[in-house]
């Protein structure tokens, strides 16, 4: 049978991709995220039946779909607002909607998932599993999406929890961060990078566009014990609590520089690689801070701690906070051990002072 010209061209493209892929394989032994997850699972959880790795591969598939759409933003009609607001009262961008559907679709098909909780949905999406799904996934499908129209990095953040057997319904989702089984994010930047932890260190993978796979590029990532930048929306500084302003002044007096992208994932990724501190303090507009505990603060706190850093709400270790609602917010201070310890010192001294003043006043 004669091949159509189109089929011939497609076959040639596929062959050339395959030989390039084999070329890359020969140059260096690559480790894909799937291989890595399977190896970790075999080492640490020999009795596991592959549910967890299938779940993570659903997540990587969704983020590949999202990155493909982002890379075409501007070429197709996907920029701008979708004309609705989400549960936070924020305008939904078209890409927010697409990213949310991609994650719901890719994870909803995995047998092991019982609940999906998204920044974009007011209530958890319950997946009807007669056999009972083992896991809950909470996620922010497209973090920093207000930056998308101006070509600034955005990301996806996720956290995986075990579904507690004894807790009925949606209250199963309300778990402290220390119970996370795994957490990760993808930053859609100059390259697309997937970073995750399953409690055995932090690993980063870069999407190799030629072969469409995330390959290991950052093994056992460690956050520097100290950096030289802080990251905060300083336009809000007038309404930060006094101790935060004192802390920032202290960092400036020590020669720290300022870096703020306004995309949490991108700001955190820089902090993970270079050290320093990221803060979203309480403000007049957001007295509990702006960032969400379950799908923004907790996953990044887990990664930070696994990499040697730390995260606090100002009063409590982020991963010790018992959530009361799925979309609750928290003040968020995350980064290198040195900077976060210095924040604690200044913040606690201010709290002790105001206690003494009110006791004696
Ligand atoms: P989003 O999840 O709706 O995109 O909002 C969260 C974003 C974070 O990425 C970022 O750290 C923060 O909002 C920036 O807020 P601000 O513009 O107040 O500095
Ligand atoms: Mg967000």
Region at 132 (left for phi over 0; alpha for psi -120 to 50; beta for the rest) = left
44-84 residue pLDDT tens: 666 566 788 888 989 999 999 999 998 887 676 666 666 66
**Residue to probe by mutation, ligand 1, list 120, 143, 147, most atoms within 8 Å of CB:** 143
Check whether 302 has a pLDDT greater than 90: yes
Cα 331 from Cα 296, distance rounded (Å): 11
Best residue among 263, 270, 279, 300 to mutate for probing ligand 1, ranked by most atoms within 8 Å of CB: 263
User: What pLDDT sits at residue 182?
Assistant: 94
> What is the full DSSP assignment across 65-91?
HHHHHHHTBTTBTT-SEEEEE-TTSPE
The more confident residue out of 171 and 309 is: 309
Q: Which residues pair with 310 in a beta bridge?
A: 335
| DSSP label of 287 | T
pLDDT at 192: 97
- Nearest in space to 273 (alpha carbons), one of 314, 236, 234, 229: 229
Render the burial of 239-268: b for 16+ CB within 10 Å, e for the rest: ebbebbeebbeebeeeebeebbbebbbbbb
Q: Tokens representing 169?
A: 């319904």
Pick the atom of ligand 1 nearest to 235's CA: 19
Cβ(197) to ligand 1 under 6 A?
no
Which atom of ligand 1 is found nearest the CA of 86?
3
Please tell me the number of the ligand nearest to residue 289's CA: 1
Quote the CA–CA distance of 110 and 54 in Å, as a whole number.
Answer: 7
Q: For residue 276, report the distance from its CA to the centre of ligand 2, in Å.
A: 21
Q: End-to-end CA distance of the chain, in Å? A: 95
Residues listed for the chain: 361
Q: In what order do the strands lie in the sheet with 229-231?
A: 257-258, 229-231, 277-280, 332-335, 310-312
Cα(60)–Cα(51) distance, integer angstroms: 14
pLDDT at 5 over 80: no
Q: What is the pLDDT of residue 39?
A: 83
- pLDDT at position 121 is 86
Report how far ligand 2's centroid is from the alpha carbon of 162 (Å): 22
Angstrom distance (rounded) from CA 30 to CA 331:
39
Classify 113 as helix, strand or coil. Answer: strand
- For 20-44, the pLDDT digits (tens) are 665 655 556 789 998 898 887 776 6
Residue labelled with tokens 């480790």? 31
Ligand 1 pocket residue status of 147, Cβ below 6 Å: no
Instruction: Domains for the chain: give ranges and CATH numbers.
Output: 8-218 (3.30.540.10), 229-360 (3.40.190.80)
Q: Is the pLDDT of residue 250 over 80?
A: yes
pLDDT at 9: 73
Higher pLDDT, 297 or 21: 297
Which residue pairs from 115-118 have beta carbons closer than 8 angstroms and sit at least 24 positions apart in sequence? 115/163, 115/170, 115/172, 115/173, 117/173, 117/294, 117/295, 117/326, 118/295
- Per-residue DSSP letter, 123: S
Q: What is the mean pLDDT of the chain?
A: 87
Measure 90 CA to ligand 2 centroid, in angstroms: 11
Contact 173, 326 (CB under 8 A): yes
Q: What is the mean pLDDT of residues 267-285?
A: 98
- Residue 18's pLDDT is 66
Residue in 141, 261, 270, 280 to alter for ligand 1 test, most ligand atoms within 8 A of Cβ:
280
In short, whether 143's Cβ falls inside 6 Å of ligand 1 is yes
pLDDT of residue 134: 86
Cβ neighbours for 25, distance < 8 A, ≥ 6 positions apart: none
CA of 234 from ligand 1 middle (Å) equals 13
Say if ligand 1 is within 6 A of residue 290 CB: yes
Give the separation between CA 65 and CA 26, rounded to whole angstroms. Answer: 28
| Beta bridge pairs of residue 258 | 230
Ligand nearest to the CA of 96: 1
Whether the predicted pLDDT of 293 surpasses 60: yes
* Any ligand 1 atom below 6 A from CB of 140: yes
Cβ atoms < 10 Å from Cβ of 340: 19
Q: What is the pLDDT of residues 175-224, one digit of tens each?
A: 999 999 999 999 999 999 999 999 999 999 999 998 899 999 999 999 99
What is the rounded CA–CA span in Å between residue 335 and residue 348?
18
Atom 4 of ligand 1, nearest CA residue:
144
**pLDDT tens-place string over residues 99-141:** 999 999 999 888 888 889 998 888 878 776 655 688 999 999 9
Identify the H or E element spanning 155. strand 154-162
Give ion ligand 2 contacts, CB < 5 A: 140, 143
Of the listed ranges 131-135, 231-235, 304-308, the one predicted with least confidence: 131-135
CA–CA gap between residue 104 and residue 2 (Å, rounded)? 42
Residue 96 near residue 145, CB atoms below 8 Å: yes
């Amino acid at each position: 049978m004669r091949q159509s010209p189109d089929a011939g061209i497609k076959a040639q493209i596929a062959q050339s991709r395959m030989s390039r892929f084999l070329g890359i394989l020969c140059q260096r032994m690559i480790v894909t995220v799937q291989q890595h997850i399977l190896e970790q699972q075999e080492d640490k959880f020999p009795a596991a039946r592959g549910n967890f790795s299938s779940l993570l591969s659903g997540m990587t598939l969704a983020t590949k779909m999202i990155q493909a759409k982002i890379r075409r933003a501007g070429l197709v009609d996907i920029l701008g607002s979708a004309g609705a607001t989400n549960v936070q009262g924020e305008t939904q961008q078209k890409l927010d909607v697409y990213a949310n559907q991609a994650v719901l679709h890719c994870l909803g098909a995995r047998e092991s998932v019982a609940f999906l909780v998204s920044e974009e949905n007011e209530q958890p999406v319950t997946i009807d599993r007669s056999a009972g799904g083992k896991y809950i996934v909470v996620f922010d499908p497209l973090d920093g999406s207000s930056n998308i129209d101006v070509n600034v990095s955005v990301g996806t953040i996720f956290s995986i929890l075990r579904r507690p057997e004894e807790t009925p319904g949606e209250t199963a989702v309300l778990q402290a961060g220390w119970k996370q089984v795994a957490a990760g994010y993808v930053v859609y930047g100059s390259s697309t990078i997937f970073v995750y932890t399953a409690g055995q260190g932090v690993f980063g993978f870069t999407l190799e566009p030629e072969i469409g796979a995330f390959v290991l590029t950052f093994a056992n990532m460690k956050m520097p014990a100290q950096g030289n930048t802080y990251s905060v929306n300083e336009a809000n500084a007038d309404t930060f609590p006094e101790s935060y302003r004192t802390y920032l002044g202290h960092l400036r007096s020590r020669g720290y520089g300022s870096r703020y992208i306004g995309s949490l994932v991108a700001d955190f990724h820089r902090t993970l690689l270079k050290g320093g501190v990221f803060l979203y303090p309480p403000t007049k507009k957001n007295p509990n801070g702006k960032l969400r505990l379950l799908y923004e603060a907790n996953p990044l706190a887990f990664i930070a701690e696994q990499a040697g850093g730390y995260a606090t709400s100002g009063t409590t270790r982020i991963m010790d906070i018992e959530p009361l609602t799925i979309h609750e917010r928290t003040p968020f201070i995350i980064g290198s051990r040195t900077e976060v310890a210095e924040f604690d010192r200044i913040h606690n001294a201010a709290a002790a002072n105001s206690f003494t003043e009110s006791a004696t006043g």
